[in-house]
Structure 1
Amino acid sequence: MQAKLTETYITKLKHKSERYDVRDTVERGLVLRVGKKFGAKHWHTFVYRGSKRRMVRLGLFPHMSVRDARMAAIQAKANANAPWTPEHIKTVANLFEEYRKTREPKMRAWRDVQSAWDVWGEEFLGYLKLTDVSIHHGRELRNHVSKKSTELRGSAVIRYIRPMFSWAVDESLIDENPWAGLKATAVARPRDRVLTNEEWQKVWDATFKDNLGAYFRFLMLSAQRKDNVASMKWEEIHGNLWTIPAEKFKATKKESAKAHEVPLTPALIEILENQPKRGPFVFGPTGLKQLRLGSREKDRLAKKAGVDDRRLHDLRRTAATRMTENKIPRFIVKRVLGHADRSVTAVYDRANYREEKRQALNVLSKN
């Protein structure tokens, strides 16, 4: 199908059961492709490198006008010798695999990206050809996740997956970011829940009725992140000191992460001494792999404790609060939690503060 493409003519084009192309009679090689599901109208042009021809995506109508599309087509032909997308990257799933290889070693939050892809993204996007991806697919994914889960999660999934397309543009794997204008506005409010002394005691008592009680008690008395405790290995414990390796410790950038020392109080040592050594991991049913907690286990503990509106991270926040309420300096609490110290003094101060941290953690043993 050919026509002299104008804004009026394009606006009147309707989507059909199958996608179709309209070739511009003014600029040779310029094509408007009308999608079959949402009727999205994408500009493309054909370029040649030697005897090989390929289609290059230019933009989306009406964001890209007819005049701009013709100019972009001319420019694309002039840049025909630019790097081509590797042959093995044809679908979004292929693109994600390349993205994973590059970004996983550098991203602290990669596990969240991988989870968003595995649970939601792969089913909706994986099979799509890179040339067919549009902002409509992103909106459809966001709305589906929001409906099945929450609006907050729907926005989070988009924020985790969307940077992949920006990365692909930077790497010259695609010509344009199809999700550049995709909105993900729902943002979680900062949580400030702190358990009262009575609630703290209820949760503590409930751990003795749960088969994962040792894990929960260690979490409460160490004030460490739940994932670090869940992945604790026997080899990380030396005497009365637990060292969380740099590669497992949370940091803004992986290259800036450092090992974190947690002095073990008598109460923490007692918990460890009562744990059977069935494998490399301290906690978990078999000790052969890292403990993975789902909402079922967390809800079970909350039900036994009779404490509503409680998350595992609330225990860490409450532990920090209990230490400061017992006259432990905030500086030491910060060291216990392993929060980064970005002050100039930190560059010179290389003390480990083990005894000060041990005294602070002893406060948590006094239920």
Structure 2
Amino acid sequence: MPRIKISKRTVDGIIPPPAGANDKATQEFYRDTELTGFGLKVTNKGTKTYIVEARVQGKAKRITLGKHGPLTPEQARKQAQITLGQIATGNDPVADKKDQQIKGVTLADAYRDYLLARHNLKPSTLGEYQRCIKGALSDWLNKPMTDITKDMIETRHRKLGETSVAGANGTMRVLRAIFNFAIEQYEDQKGQPIIQVNPTKRLSKTRSWYEVKPRQTLLTPTQLKPWFDATLKLNQETTRDYLHFLLFTGLRKSEASKMTWGNVNFNERSFLIPDTKNKDPHRLPMSDHLEALLKQRHFQSESPWVFPSPITDGPLKEPRTSIKRVIELSDIKFTLHDLRRTFATTAENLDIPHYALKRLLNHRAANDVTGGYIVPNAERLREPMQKITNYILGQIEGTDNDVSSK
């Protein structure tokens, strides 16, 4: 390796080496005559880079300082002296630099990496995460994760709670998940996590989480008839049928709205929801009322969607205008999820067996060994499904047909 006094004149005067066979990249190295370990790398492309060569903790290493041009020989020499001094005192500049980079990971960096790891998130979940991180915590995105303190979290949680206690809790739960991910994902050169404790634990330690009681609203038996009568006055038949379908199936709003005719099996009198909240495909039998509703829709349909949007080629979105209209006509406030609660409460009041109720609602039996041995069968749910339908129709028609199945 040639030895030269590294100066602007000598570096500028170095001619790049020729390319190798088949235009293969080549490079030459030059060592400084005054500072041992300081050198220059020159490629056949004409790139000239200042380097330091030394044994770091017993291993020969070549450390890049920077390119000639943006970095002058004098600046590179001073930087080389600092680097060699660090090595002489037992430090590893490369590892130290990586430590500094890893400790500088921002909330935006961690959030991006978290989403890459959780690549199967549903669009609705992703949308909620975006509202929390890029909405409620947008001013923290460029902060290093190590700079987000317990006090900051406690203060922000309290501030968010002034607007929405549920939103405040939701934001901090998402942040807690990202911190848990960061603790496992980002380590220093010694293999230690750069974040030792999840700072959102402060909220648990101080019992600062807001108490958010689940909604208990639903359609009572006496409200079923006026609500149903109000839906019949809607101009949009698709929206009317969609509301009825939710009431008589207990499905979540997106599960029903995204159904296609390919999911409906009239021969077996059943329908399938392939994409559910818990990712378990959900097959349900048709009661006689649902069968009639679906057959009528299928006869009139010109769309692959069971409940198509009247505006786009896609499925029906949440019909807020129609919901508002039904509320005005019936004087009964409700949400689409209230219809699911109505279905579930009706099933429970009719003493539908525990496992059948869980299957109807597509709830997993957590920590239930017995439930794990039961293979779901839509046909076993036909009688409970019909029983619930009969009761709801009985309340609507005033026949109190609450226990028999047709």
With normalisation by structure 1, the TM-score equals: 0.64
Q: What code does the residue aligned with 1:266 have?
A: D
Partner of 1:359: 386
- C-alpha offsets along residues 293-348 of structure 1, whole Å, 9 cap, x if unaligned? 3866644433332114x333222222223234445444433322222245444344
Identify if the C-alpha distance between structure 1 residues 155 and 326 changes in structure 2 by more than 3 Å, giving closer, same or farther.
closer
Identify if the C-alpha distance between structure 1 residues 317 and 123 changes in structure 2 by more than 3 Å, giving closer, same or farther.
same
Gaps of 5+ in 2: 1-55, 66-90, 188-192, 397-406
Structure 2 Cα separation of the partners of residues 198 and 260 of structure 1: 30
Partner of 2:165: 151
After TM superposition, list the pairs within 5 Å mapping 1:90-109 onto structure 2: 90-105=105-120
- C-alpha offsets along residues 189-215 of structure 1, whole Å, 9 cap, x if unaligned? 133334221212222222223442222
Q: What code does the residue aligned with 2:186 have?
A: S
Paired residues of 1:323 and 1:333 also in contact (CA < 8 A): yes
Identify if the C-alpha distance between structure 1 residues 175 and 290 changes in structure 2 by more than 3 Å, giving closer, same or farther.
farther
After TM superposition, list the pairs within 5 Å mapping 1:158-237 onto structure 2: 158-172=172-186, 175-176=194-195, 179-183=199-203, 185-210=209-234, 211=236, 212-237=239-264
Paired residues of 2:309 and 2:316 also in contact (CA < 8 A): yes
Q: What code does the residue aligned with 2:273 have?
A: I
Q: What code does the residue aligned with 1:179 have?
A: P
Partner of 1:128: 143
Report the Cα offset of residue 117 of structure 1. Answer: 3.1
**Residues matched between the structures, number:** 288
Partner of 1:250: 277
Structure 2 Cα separation of the partners of residues 127 and 220 of structure 1: 46
Partner of 1:301: 326
Identify if the C-alpha distance between structure 1 residues 209 and 320 changes in structure 2 by more than 3 Å, giving closer, same or farther.
same
Partner of 2:371: 346
Structure 1 Cα separation of the partners of residues 314 and 194 of structure 2: 42
Does residue 1:264 correspond to 2:286, yes or no?
yes
Partner of 1:13: none
Structure 2 Cα separation of the partners of residues 296 and 127 of structure 1: 40
- C-alpha offsets along residues 139-174 of structure 1, whole Å, 9 cap, x if unaligned? 454344333x32232122111222202211211167
Q: What code does the residue aligned with 1:197 have?
A: P
Cα-Cα RMSD: 3.9
Does residue 1:288 correspond to 2:310, yes or no?
no
- In our comparison, the structure showing a higher alpha carbon Rg is 2
After TM superposition, list the pairs within 5 Å mapping 1:30-41 onto structure 2: none
With normalisation by structure 2, the TM-score equals: 0.58
Partner of 2:339: 315
SS of residue paired to 2:230? helix
Identify if the C-alpha distance between structure 1 residues 360 and 80 changes in structure 2 by more than 3 Å, giving closer, same or farther.
farther
| Bigger mean CA deviation after superposition, 177-186 or 316-325 | 177-186
Structure 1 Cα separation of the partners of residues 264 and 358 of structure 2: 22
SS of residue paired to 1:162? helix
| Bigger mean CA deviation after superposition, 294-303 or 193-202 | 294-303
Gaps of 5+ in 1: 1-47, 54-75, 252-256
Identity rate, percent: 20
Paired residues of 1:265 and 1:358 also in contact (CA < 8 A): yes
Identify if the C-alpha distance between structure 1 residues 218 and 107 changes in structure 2 by more than 3 Å, giving closer, same or farther.
closer
